[in-house]
Amino acid sequence: MLREKLVSSFMAFEEKIDVQTDLHDIRTAAIKNFENKGFPTKKEEAWKYTSLNSILKNDFSVFPNTENTIEYKEVKKYFLHEIDTHKVVFVDGVFSSNLSSTTHDGIDVCLMSSALNKPKYKMVIDTYFNQIASKDESLTSLNTAFANEGAYINIPKSKVADKPIEIMYFSTGSEKALLVQPRNLVIVGENSHVQIIERHQCLNDNAVLTNSVTEIFAAKRAIVDYYKIQNDAAEANLIDNTYVSQKQESHVSVQTFSFGGNLTRNNLNFYHFGERLTSTLNGITIIGEKQHVDHYTLVNHATPNCESFQDYKGIFSDRATGVFNGKVFVEKEAQKTNAFQKSNNILLSDKATINAKPQLEIFADDVKCSHGCTVGQLDETALFYMQQRGIPKKEAKALLMYAFSNAVIENIKIPELKKRITAIIANKLGVKLGFDL
């Protein structure tokens, strides 16, 4: 079984890398938690609608047997190549220097392995690494046990990143089945601003399971715009765990675009540690065939005068399954909270499924909180109206679905990325949208 294979591989992993004593203790506690809990099952309330059983039957390689290289021209289309960006790129979990463009010029955009193992980063690692990530959740613990490689981004106080940062993970498929576990750490200092794009991309149809963990720390008045593009191959599986810590007056936005892959699970957790801050969680899901996308969100309002906004749109066809399981938790001290949560979904097939469970837990008495969920089909009256004005049915459907998604698309602050996402949506809907973006 994969669980036993991973536990037995842990000692071999630690022997391969130069591990500090305190990191060894963190890793050992994490692997013990995973060993005790194992992979999550549908018996757990948080995983009620998502089963990993079919994925875990694969005999995943924990470490790739060969180191593969990729030419830029082979993967150029996956980058935001229209503009200049910092790039941190990994191939089968291994850093690719020829595809990357890292920097230490005023900001740090580099490797997690360097930060974990070099003495000059020790104080930062001691302060931030594994501080907001769950110590209890089994897949996060599994990632922590094997955490060594990923992106390390540190934007010091009063700095604006001069260009967006792309974090790219490619899987070549050289292994019959590969498990990769990237670990990202993003630290954004007081009054600083950064835009980050993250993408996982398999380059063939061999099975891949990515168990990713990202910790984001936003200091006072920091602004973080984080974009996740999920448009992977048919046999790719992604479990994405993202943990966000916010201090006062910070603004953090995480936008998730789920279009491809076999199974995708997004665990997105926001924790508040200051007043007058804003958290934004947006998502668009467009899937078909037997694809499965599960969004599990938590916003923990622990301080007064804060806001959170969640807006998730889903379009499901064929036998696709969508899940939205979102929780807003307002603690007793968090007076004057404004929390808004919405999940709107369209089913294009009578065999498509959406499981929606918006939740509010409120222990404060002076708050403004709302949540809502809709599940339906395209408006036949609007469709008829558009056809009467000469728009073919297929294009009319696409325009209605684009309009349905547009509220989320409008929140994208990188124009070139907005064009890219719109092009992917048009491709998913099978039309050319005849208007400028």
* pTM greater than 0.75: yes
Answer whether residue 165 is part of any domain.
yes
Contact 302, 273 (CB under 8 A): yes
Instruction: Measure CA 415 to chain center.
Output: 20
Distance, CA of 429 to chain centre? 23
Q: Can you list the pairs that 8-12 forms with residues at least 24 positions away whose Cβ atoms lie under 8 Å?
A: 9/62, 9/63, 10/145, 10/146
Question: In 3D, which of 148, 146, 187 has the Cα closest to residue 62?
Answer: 146
pLDDT digits (tens), the chain, 437 positions: 899 999 999 988 888 776 666 788 999 999 999 999 999 999 999 999 999 999 999 999 988 777 788 999 999 999 999 999 999 999 999 999 999 999 999 999 999 999 998 889 999 999 999 999 999 999 999 999 999 999 999 999 999 999 999 999 999 988 889 999 999 999 999 999 999 999 999 999 899 999 999 999 999 999 999 999 999 999 999 999 999 999 999 999 999 999 989 999 999 999 999 999 999 999 999 999 999 999 999 999 999 999 999 999 999 999 999 999 999 999 999 999 999 999 999 999 999 999 999 999 999 999 999 998 999 988 888 888 888 888 888 888 888 888 888 889 999 999 999 999 998 998 888 777 654 44
Q: How far apart are CA 218 and CA 399, in angstroms?
A: 37
Tell me what pLDDT residue 437 has.
40
Helices and strands counted in the chain (H then E) = 10, 20
Give the H or E element holding residue 139: helix 138-146
Helices (H), 53-136: 53-56, 72-75, 112-117, 122-128
- Assigned domain for 382 exists: no
Question: 333 by DSSP, 3-state: which?
Answer: coil
Is 384 part of a structural domain of the chain? no
Domain count, the chain: 1
Q: Which is it for strands 193-202 and 223-230: parallel, antiparallel or unpaired?
A: parallel
Query: What is the spatial distance between Cα 184 and Cα 99, in angstroms, rounded to a whole number?
Result: 18
Cβ count near 158 (within 10 Å): 11
- Note the pLDDT of residue 434: 55
Domain residue limits at 219 = 1-274
Amino acid 388: pLDDT: 87
Q: What is the pLDDT of residue 392?
A: 85
Judge whether 52 lies within some domain: yes
How open is the CA angle 162-167-169, to the nearest 5 degrees? Answer: 160
Can you tell me which residue has the tokens 């938790």? 329
User: DSSP strand E in 304-423: where?
Assistant: 307-316, 321-330, 338-347, 353-362, 368-376
Asked if 176 contacts 59 with a C-beta cutoff of 8 angstroms, the reply is: yes
Residue 332 located in a structural domain: no
Chain position carrying tokens 């939740």: 359
Residue 314: inside a domain, yes or no?
A: no
In a domain, 366, yes or no: no
Q: Is residue 55 part of a domain?
A: yes
Distance CA 78, CA 70 (A): 13
3-state secondary structure of 24: helix
Where are the strands (E) in 220-337, listed by range?
223-230, 236-246, 251-258, 263-272, 278-287, 292-301, 307-316, 321-330
